[in-house]
Amino acid sequence: MVVFKDMVHELQNGRENADGADQGFIASYFPDLLDKTLFHPPPNGTKLDGTYRLPLGYQMDASYYCKLKEKNVFF
């Protein structure tokens, strides 16, 4: 909850970011995120410690999925 509250505080104070949107804010708040290990949930359900980044599929724009739907491509 501490990180979330700090992020809200940074938004209220107009933190500078590259694109003025959510991805730019995340990139400016976590500048070393791309250097983090890619998250893959452990098969046995154990808890992980640390900071991980999500695979690209979690960060796709909704229009990407709409285009796949038009082509009848489903996951």
Neighbour count for residue 48 (Cβ, 10 Å): 11
Separate counts of helices (H) and strands (E) for the chain: 3, 2
53 near 33, Cβ under 8 Å? yes
Q: What is the pTM of this model?
A: 0.56
Instruction: Say how far apart CA 7 and CA 2 lie, in whole Å.
Output: 9
Instruction: Say how far apart CA 25 and CA 30 lie, in whole Å.
Output: 8
pLDDT by residue for the chain (75 residues), tens only, comes to 999 999 999 989 988 887 778 878 888 898 888 888 888 888 898 888 888 888 877 766 666 666 666 666 655
